[in-house]
Amino acid sequence: MKAARERFGRGLAVAVPFAILAVALLVGSPLAGRPTEVRSGDRTAFAITGARVVAAPGRAFDPGVVVMRGGVIEAVGPEASTPIPSDAQILERRGRVVYAGFIDPYVSVDRLAGKRPRAPSDDEEGESAVPGARLAVSPADSSHAEGRAIDGLRVTERASETYRRLGFAVVAAVPAGGILRGRGAIVGLGDGALEERVLVPESGHYVSLDPERFELAPGAVRSGYPVSKMGAAALVRQQFADALWWRDAEDAYGRKPLGRLRPRYEPGAAALVAAAEGRETVVFEAGDVLSLLRSIRMARELKLKARFVGSGDEYRLREQIAQARPDLVLRVDFPRPYRVEDEAEWIDVPLERLRRIDRSPSNPAWLRSAGIRFSFTTAGLEEPEEFPRRVREAIARGLSPEDALAAVTTIPATQLGLGDRLGSLEAGKIANLVVATAEPFADSARAIEIWIDGRRHELPERRGGAGGRVAGRTTTAAADPAPEPRLDPDVRPFPPPDRGPVAPLAAVIVRHATIWTQGPAGLVEDADLLAVNGKISAVGRSVAAPSGVVEVDGRGLHLTPGMIDCHSHTAVDGQINEGTHAVTAEVRVQDVIDPFDVGAYRELAGGTTTANVLHGSANAIGGQNAVVKWRWGGGPEDYLLAGAPAGIKFALGENPKQSNWVNPRPRYPATRMGVTNLIRERFLAARDYRRRQEEYRRAAAVRGAAPIPPAPDLQLEAIAEILEGRRMIHCHSYRKDEILEMIRVAEEFGVKVATFQHVLEGYKVADEIARHGAGASTFSDWWAYKPEAYDAIPYNGALMRERGVLVSFNSDSDELARRLNWEAAKAVRYGGVPPVEALAFVTSNPAKQLGIFHRVGSLEAGKDADFVLWSGDPLATSSIALQTWIEGRKYFDREADLARRPALEKERAELVLRARKMLESERRSARAGAEPVDAAPPPAGIAPSAAPTRPPEEPEKKPTAPPAAPALPAARPTPAPTPSARPR
C-alpha cells in the first residue's frame, strides 16, 4: 500500500505540472474563446542590466536596469538603486545601449504588404484632357473616406523584420491612394496574429491635396476628378461640408421622422463627421512646402484638428511654417543628384534643385532652431534601410541627437495619442525597447535585439553575424559589427533670403522724372513722386519731402504706374485646368499660388506688378480667379491683393466644347450652343439652390420645427454669387456670335460680364459690348493661330476703344507679360491711339476692369505706391525697366540684378561640385556593398523626355521661341538704355 501511494505521488508530481501547462496553453489559445491576459503568454519577469539605459531623450542611467513583466515595463532606473524581482531572468548587456522602440507615424499599407512604392511619373502632375492625348486611364476613386486601413491590412514578416532591424516597434499604417483616403491604424511589429498586435484600429483620417502623379501606362492621361491641385482642395472642402450637412440632416430627421423622406445615407460623409467637428485627427500628406501651407490653410479654414506630413523642403518658407506651428511629421528622403551622362548636362540643372540637394539635410536642424518640433518617418524613402543614414546626415548638419531620438520616440507617441503607453522607458508603459551596440543613430549603432510587447526578437547580422542568445539567466551579445564611415559635421547657418524686396523703405521720393500719372494730371514732366509707408503721398513739381526720405534721381527717366496683366497664368502650382468636368466653379486659383515661380520675378523685371491669375479655358464655367501683386519673396498668401473683387473664369468656343483636345470621357457640351445652354442651366440651378436655402431659413425660424437642410454645393455657391453681383465674370471668347449669346444669357439673369477675354472679333460687336457695359481684355496682334482667330486683326483694341469699350491688352503668357509696355505701344501703331491712352491699356484700364482702380493703375495721392522707373519713353522698344516698386518696396533693380549674377554663378559652380562629390561617394558605397545609390527621378532638363502637351488654355498662344534658361532670376538682356521717340 505504501509503495502504491509513493507511485501515485510520483505520478501526481509529474502529472500536475503537465496539467497546469495544458490549462495554460488552453487559456492562452484562441480556441479558449478569450484573449490572453498578456501577449507574452505568461508573467515571466526579465531584467536587462549593465547597459546604458536611455529612458527618454536627455534622460539616461549608466549603468541602468529595465525590468519587464507580462509585456509591460515594471521598473526603470540606475542599476545601484533599482530592485530586481527575485523571479526575474537577468539579461546582462554591458557595453550596450537600451532605448525605447521607435515609432513611425506614417507607413503606407502598401509598404507593409511588401509592395514597392510607386514612382512618380515624369509629368509634373499628370496631364488630363490635353491636346494630343493618345490613351486615357482614369485614376481610382479619389474619395473613399469611409475606408479603413485595418480592413485587409497585411504586414509581411519581411516588412516587420526590416523595420525591427531599424529599431521600430510600432507603425501607423496609413491607407494609400486617392485624396480622401480613410482611416489609419496603429500596429505593433512583433510576431503573432495581426489581431494581437493592433494598438488602435482606427487612428485619424488621411488626406492629400495633391493628386497622385503615378504613370499608369505609357502616354496615358488621367480623366477622373480631380486632376489638379486646386481640384483636390475643392474636393476636400466639399467633403467636409457634406459631413456637417449629413450630421445636421440626420439630427433633423431623427427629431421629426414622420411624414418625410429620410436623408440619403452618405458613408463617406458619415465617416468624416467626427473629423469635421474637430474631434478626430486629420492627417494631411504634403508633397512640398506649398502643399504643406495649403493643407495648413485648409485645416484652419475648416477648423480641423490636424497633423501634417511634410516633404523636407520646409526651410524654403520657414518663417511661414514657424508662424503656423503645425503638428509635423518630417520625411528624410533628401533629394540626391541625378547621374548625368554628359558633364555638360549640369548646366541644365536648375539652381533651385541644386540648392535643395545641398540644403535639405539641414532642414530638420533649421526647423528645430525656429522652435518647430516634429517626428520622423521612413515615408518617401525608396528603401526603409536608408533611414538611419539620412537621420545621421541631419545630425551632422546640426540636429541634436536628443531631438533626433525624440523624433522617433516621444513625439510620434504623443502625435498618435499613445504618449501614456509608448515613446519612453517608464514603469507601466508597453515593453518596447531596443538593445543596440551604440547610441541611437551613432555611426556604429546596430540593433542586436528588440523587445516588442515584452517579447524578444533577435536581430543577427545579415552577413554572417549573430546576436546573443539567452542561456540560462545571463547572456552576453556578440561582438560589434564594423562601423560604417563617419559623417563629418557640417553645421550651417540658415541661408539669407535670396528673394524679396531689394529695398523696403519707409519713404522714397523720385525727383525730376517724366511722370505718366494715367490720372487727371496726365503726363507731367520734371515732376516728383513721394511715397510714404507704401502709399503715394504726392505727385507734382517741387514736392516737399520729409527728413530721412530716400531720393532717387529721375532726370531723363520716365515713371509710370506698374503694369497690370488682366489675363495671366503665372505662379500657379500644378495644372491650370481642372478639365475633368464641364463646370468647375468650386475650384480656386488662390489655393494654388506658387511664390517660387521665377516668372513673377521676370515680370517684375519688365515692369508688371499686378495680375489677374485665371483658371484655364477647358470648362464652360471654370474656376475662381485670384488678383495678385508680384511681392517676390513672400509666401502664397503674400501675393494675394486683399479686397480685390471676387471673379471667375468662363469660356466659350472651341476649348469648352473640346474641339482641340481628346477627352477620354466625352461629355456635354460639344457645340457652341451647348456651351451657352450649359451656362444658362447652371444659372437656373444656382437660383434654385438659393431658393431652397431661403426656404430652409424661414422654416428653421419656426419654433419647434426641424427642417432638413439642403445639401451644400460649393459649385452652385460660387455661381449664386455671380447672380448676386458678388463675383465678376471674366469670359474667354473669340467669335462675335458667341459673344452676343453670352451677353444675352447674362442679361436674361440680370448679370453683367465684367470682361470678355481675348475677344478677337470684338471689333465686329463693339457697340453691343459697350451697351452691355463689359470690358474687353484682348491681344495686341495675335491672329490666325486657330480657326476661331482667323478674323482677328491688330486694330481690334483701337476700334473697340473708339466705340466706347473699356479696353486692355493682356498677356496670357509668362513671356509676353514681361513686355506689356511694348504691347501697349502697338495700339499707337495699329489704330493711332494716343500714347497716354495706349499706356492705359496696361495700367488704368485693367485696374478698372478688375475693380481695383481705387488702389492701383494710376499715380495719384492715396493709392498704392506701385510704380516703374524706365530708361526712356515706356512705349519705345529701346526702353527698359530700371526699377520696379510695389507699395513702396523696390522688388526689382536692374543694377542690383546685374551685380548679383557673378555670386550666383559662383554658387552654382560650388553646388555642382558638391553634387558631383555626392554622386562619387555613393558610387563608392554602392561598389563596396554599403548603402544603395538613390535612383531619384531626373529633374527637369536633365534626362530626355517627351515634350509636354499644353493644357486647353495654351492653344490660343502664338508660337514663341522659349527664352534661354538663365542660371538665375534676371531681367531679359537688353541694350543700354537710350531715350527714343515713341513709335508711330
Return d(Cα 728, Cα 722) in angstroms, integer: 6
Q: Write down the pLDDT at residue 212.
A: 67
- Position with higher pLDDT, 256 vs 405: 405
Distance of CA 743 to the CA centre of its chain: 38
Return d(Cα 178, Cα 206) in angstroms, integer: 10
Report whether pLDDT(46) > 60.
yes
Report whether pLDDT(714) > 90.
yes
> Which one, of 363, 237, 352, lies nearest residue 310 by Cα?
363
Percent of the chain with pLDDT over 70: 83
Residues 350 and 940: beta-carbon distance below 8 Å: yes
Q: Write down the pLDDT at residue 103.
A: 98
Lookup: cell for 460: 543577427
Q: What is the pLDDT of residues 809-819, one digit of tens each?
A: 999 999 999 99
Report whether pLDDT(750) > 80.
yes
Q: Write down the pLDDT at residue 953.
A: 41
Confidence of residue 764 (pLDDT cuts 50, 70, 90): very high
Confidence of residue 116 (pLDDT cuts 50, 70, 90): confident
Q: Write down the pLDDT at residue 213.
A: 59
Mean pLDDT throughout 242-257? Answer: 95
Q: Please, what is the average pLDDT of the chain? A: 86
Mean pLDDT throughout 131-152? Answer: 66
Ordered strands of the 626-629 beta sheet: 563-568, 608-613, 626-629
Mean pLDDT throughout 267-294? Answer: 97
Report whether pLDDT(37) > 80.
no
Report whether pLDDT(959) > 80.
no
Return d(Cα 817, Cα 823) in angstroms, integer: 9
Confidence of residue 438 (pLDDT cuts 50, 70, 90): very high
Return d(Cα 192, Cα 160) in angstroms, integer: 11
Report whether pLDDT(619) > 90.
yes
Q: Write down the pLDDT at residue 43.
A: 77
CA distances from 94 to 53, 60, 470 (A): 11, 15, 14
Confidence of residue 236 (pLDDT cuts 50, 70, 90): very high
Mean pLDDT throughout 401-411? Answer: 98
Q: What is the pLDDT of residues 183-213, one digit of tens each?
A: 999 999 998 899 999 999 999 999 999 986 5
Q: Write down the pLDDT at residue 29.
A: 37
Report whether pLDDT(123) > 80.
no
Q: What is the pLDDT of residues 450-477, one digit of tens each?
A: 999 999 999 988 654 333 333 333 333 3
Q: What is the pLDDT of residues 57-93, one digit of tens each?
A: 999 999 999 999 999 999 999 999 999 999 999 999 9
Residues 669 and 657: beta-carbon distance below 8 Å: yes
Least confident of 168-172, 214-218, 347-351: 214-218
Mean pLDDT throughout 20-44? Answer: 41
Residues 656 and 617: beta-carbon distance below 8 Å: yes
Report whether pLDDT(385) > 90.
yes
Mean pLDDT throughout 869-885? Answer: 97
Return d(Cα 203, Cα 186) in angstroms, integer: 7
Q: Write down the pLDDT at residue 253.
A: 94
Return d(Cα 710, Cα 246) in angstroms, integer: 10
Q: Is the four-CA dihedral 77, 80, 85, 89 of positive or negative sign? A: positive
Q: Write down the pLDDT at residue 921.
A: 83
Place of cell 532638363: 941
Q: Write down the pLDDT at residue 662.
A: 72
Give the phi and the psi of residue 273 in degrees, each rounded to 5. -60, -50
Residues 379 and 160: beta-carbon distance below 8 Å: no
DSSP string for 12-25: HHHHHHHHHHHHHH
Ordered strands of the 455-458 beta sheet: 59-61, 52-56, 97-100, 433-436, 447-452, 455-458
* pTM across the whole model: 0.87
- Position with higher pLDDT, 533 vs 211: 533
Q: What is the pLDDT of residues 890-909, one digit of tens each?
A: 999 999 999 999 999 999 99
> β-strands 807-809, 775-778: how paired?
parallel
Q: Write down the pLDDT at residue 863.
A: 98
Return d(Cα 549, Cα 507) in angstroms, integer: 5
Lookup: cell for 548: 530721412
Q: Write down the pLDDT at residue 463.
A: 56
- Position with higher pLDDT, 585 vs 341: 585
Return d(Cα 405, Cα 374) in angstroms, integer: 11
Q: Write down the pLDDT at residue 360.
A: 97
Ordered strands of the 64-69 beta sheet: 72-78, 64-69, 45-49, 88-92
Q: Write down the pLDDT at residue 521.
A: 96
Report whether pLDDT(760) > 50.
yes
Q: What is the torsion angle, in degrees rounded to the nearest 10, for the CA atoms of residue 226, residue 228, residue 231 and residue 233? A: 120
Q: Write down the pLDDT at residue 339.
A: 82
Least confident of 19-28, 143-152, 167-176: 19-28
Q: Write down the pLDDT at residue 222.
A: 55
SS3 call for 831: coil
Q: What is the pLDDT of residues 325-337, one digit of tens each?
A: 999 999 999 999 9
Q: Write down the pLDDT at residue 224.
A: 83
Lookup: cell for 759: 475677344
Place of cell 485645416: 299
